[in-house]
Every structure is written in C-alpha cells, then in structure tokens.
Homo-oligomer: A and B are copies of this chain.
Amino acid sequence: MGSEIRRSMPVLPISIVMQLTDLTARQIRYYEEHNLVQPHRTEGNRRMFSLNDVDVLLEIKTMLERGTNMAGIKKVFAMKKRADTDGKKEISDRELRRIMREEMLQARSMQKTSIRQGNLSRFY
C-alpha cells in the first residue's frame, strides 16, 4: 500500500538517524560507502534518510554485532534484492545454503535481541 511512500520519504537528518540507530556518523557514512544505504542529498549536499534507510541500518547493526562482516552483509542484501526482483534464479547451491544459514541465524537472534531488530516498530 501507499505506506511505502511514507517510509521511503527522505526526511531525517543524520543526527536523528544516529539517535534512532545508536550508530555514529562515521559508521553510517561507512555503510553508505559500501552502498548498503543510499540516502537522498539536499541541494546543499546534506544526507537525508528515510525510515526504510533506518531499518536497513538497524539490520546492518544487528548483523555486525553477530559477527557478520561487510562482505557478508552485502551478499545478504543482494540476496534479498534478487529474491524480490526475480522470482529466484540461478544461485549456486553452496552459496544458497550459506546464505540461508545466515538468514536463519539472524531470524533466531532476532527473537532474543528484543530491542535492536531490523525494524522500527518500537518507535511507531
């Protein structure tokens, strides 16, 4: 539904995102460098984030805390995107199994993490 629009509107300055995610500006910019988020830019070049961006950042945070590194995180996100775009395609079996294992680990840890899951339901 149209709630996609709201969640993708770039309205949050980095300072607020820092508070919402408990990440430093350095971390947020670093993840952007790795193309994990692509905040909008104002005319004056200031980053503006959407709620979806915040969600992504929280997911990244959780995975990093679980020990996953940038490379792994990138793959997970690439997966998600692919599973979303295509209806699933040519993915090497080994890779698929590794990813699934990761996703399941994430899912499990989600239940215990209680406060830092990959969504903002606690704020909304």
A residues apposed to B, CB below 8 Å: 2-3, 5-6, 9, 11-13, 15-16, 20, 42, 48, 120, 123-124
Instruction: List the B residue with the shortest CB-CB distance to A20.
Output: B11
Does A12 contact B15, Cβ atoms closer than 8 Å? no
Copies in the complex: 2
Does B42 contact A9, Cβ atoms closer than 8 Å? no
Does B42 contact A5, Cβ atoms closer than 8 Å? no
Does A6 contact B48, Cβ atoms closer than 8 Å? no
Q: How far is the CA of A124 from the CA of B42 in the complex (A)?
A: 21
Q: How far is the CA of A3 from the CA of B121 in the complex (A)?
A: 9
Does A124 contact B15, Cβ atoms closer than 8 Å? no
Q: How far is the CA of A20 from the CA of B5 in the complex (A)?
A: 13
Does A123 contact B9, Cβ atoms closer than 8 Å? yes
Contact sample, A vs B, 16 pairs, CB 8 Å cutoff:
A2-B124, A3-B124, A5-B123, A5-B124, A6-B120, A6-B123, A6-B124, A9-B123, A11-B11, A11-B12, A11-B16, A11-B20, A12-B12, A13-B13, A15-B42, A16-B48
